[in-house]
A and B are shown apart, each in its own frame.
Chain A
Amino acid sequence: MAIKVLHHGLATTVQDLGRPGYFHLGIPVGGAMDRFAMRAANLLVGNDEGAAGLEAVFIGPKLEFTEDALVAVTGADMPAKVDGVAQPGWTAFKVKAGQTLTFDFLKSGARILIAVSGGIDVPEALGSRSTYPIGALGGHKGRPLAAGDELPVGKASLSGEGRTVPEALRRKPGLPAALRVVPGLYWHRLTEASQENFFADEWKVANEADRMGYRFKGGRKLDFVARDQPFGAGSDPSNIVDSCYPYGSIQVPGGTEPIILHRDAVSGGGYFMVGTIISADMDLIGQLQPHTPTRFVKVTMEEALAARKARQASLAQLREALA
């Protein structure tokens, strides 16, 4: 069984749930930008949650199937079509040998996750099939898909057609999108006015938004508390002595445009960080289009942990609904 790539879309990559354990060596955790949607797509077609699928951003690929398969498309609202016939999102549907899967225009969200029964069977690299393109690691030849590629698919049973994720479990960002933040180690570097402005202002997703980082524009410039820069920090007040960058951390080079580090981000550097997006909201970022109005919402560690529990409860409901 194989899938022939007739058109790659914009940037379509093989992704699973990532390769944790190597970030300290500079190799990012990677994996689907919307992990919940990835898990849901896999469960819909009878795969393990961690099987590899495809992540496509803004434009869907055009794929020809050489054998029958069960397919599910989750995440963004971008209608799938089999030989031109529309298929429901968040629902398992059949694709027969010789048929072609295409996608309509994106309606909302940013990224679709495509799961195929049996999973995309590329070799594992450091325990994951996720593609890390700038490291040329994992996925299909370490790069985004291109027309002419053939993707191997694992063996699977094809039962479960029509299985669907309940509407209430299909999570989407609001408008404006709200991203919860726990202020971080460098919070004291900002003036009190800038600490307030950061959360009061409405920001917009910039065009520079990808798997490595999401940039935001439109809020007021952040001012820093005056200090003599310590040895090892650069001269700009937004510079620090090099530090680890947590997944989800928000750096603001020059105090102007916040950048949230996402799944393919670098692991360290010399920019101060306002704080960190809570783990419960990281999936939402993967569904933000450029220009989406966004607010940062200040929360405590206790609230962040409660939100994480709430997400775990949603995941348990998903597993129950698709069991």
Chain B
Amino acid sequence: MSKIEIRSPLPGTFYRASSPDVPPFKADGDAVSSGDAIGLIEVMKTFQEVPAGVAGRNITFLVDNEEPVMAGQVIAEVEA
């Protein structure tokens, strides 16, 4: 069993959900498929979805909601 990293494609502020009053895209422990959104990055007055880009099980988030991230920073890990 190996871990696969999901990295932020751009710098900004990371959000787990599409708005404060809805559940997060993914909860810790969820399975993800490649096209799934796992969060949003806010930058330049826009919100960009972060696609998982990989398929895997048991996602673990390494960045908190509303935390600043840099491009290439590992946001989450999944098990292959």
Contact = CB atoms under 8 A, between A and B. Distances in A.
Given A10-B48, A208-B45, A210-B44, A291 B72 contact: no
A297 to B, nearest CB: 24
B9 A290 contact: no
Interface in A191-224: 207-210
Given A58-B10, A106-B10, A207-B12, A289 B71 contact: yes
A106 B9 CA distance: 8
Contacts of B54: none
B7 interface: yes
B42 interface: yes
A106 B71 contact: yes
B43 interface: yes
B43 A58 contact: yes
Contacts of B68: 290-291
Nearest to A11: B44
Contacts of B13: 207, 290
Contacts of A11: 44
B44 A106 contact: no
B2 to A, nearest CB: 21
Say what secondary structure dominates the interface of chain A: loop
Interface range on chain A: under 10, 10 to 19, 20 to 34, or 35 or more?
10 to 19
Contacts of A209: 43-44
A24 interface: no
Given A289-B70, A291-B70, A106 B11 contact: yes
A274 interface: no
19 contacts: A10-B10, A10-B46, A10-B48, A57-B44, A58-B9, A58-B11, A58-B71, A105-B7, A106-B10, A107-B71, A207-B13, A208-B45, A209-B44, A210-B44, A289-B11, A289-B70, A290-B11, A290-B12, A290-B43
Given A10-B10, A290-B43, 15 more contacts: A10-B46, A10-B48, A58-B43, A105-B7, A105-B9, A107-B72, A207-B13, A207-B43, A208-B45, A209-B44, A210-B45, A290-B12, A290-B13, A290-B68, A291-B68
Interface of A: 10-11, 57-59, 105-107, 110, 207-210, 289-291
